[in-house]
Amino acid sequence: MSDCICATAVVTLKDEMASEAVIAALNGKTFCDHEVEVKFNPCNRLLCVGNLPADMEATDFQSLVQSYGPVERCFLMRNNAGKCDAN
């Protein structure tokens, strides 16, 4: 495994039973010398936006969202090649 560089990850699974299984299996486990915390998101401030243009830049998207209110964190999901995945 390569060096860990992420502080937070957001995962959307297709069903709640799978989510509960992931939480049970991974919560409290150690990865890259860090004990991870895996739980359901307790707030309604997290937005997942799909079907964005593949060439949209994170700064452009953040500017768009900020026009409606302050943004704490904003990122676009990309694969290792820096491209949007269709899945």
What is the mean pLDDT of the segment spanning 21-46?
84
Q: What per-residue confidence (pLDDT) applies to 28?
A: 92
Structure confidence at residue 1 (pLDDT)? 44
In this predicted structure, what is the pLDDT of residue 12?
72
Indicate the pTM of the whole model: 0.51
Taking every pair of Cα atoms in the chain, the longest distance, rounded to a whole number of angstroms, is 39
- Average pLDDT, stretch 62-84? 81
Give percent helix, percent strand, percent coil of the chain, each to the nearest 5: 25, 5, 70
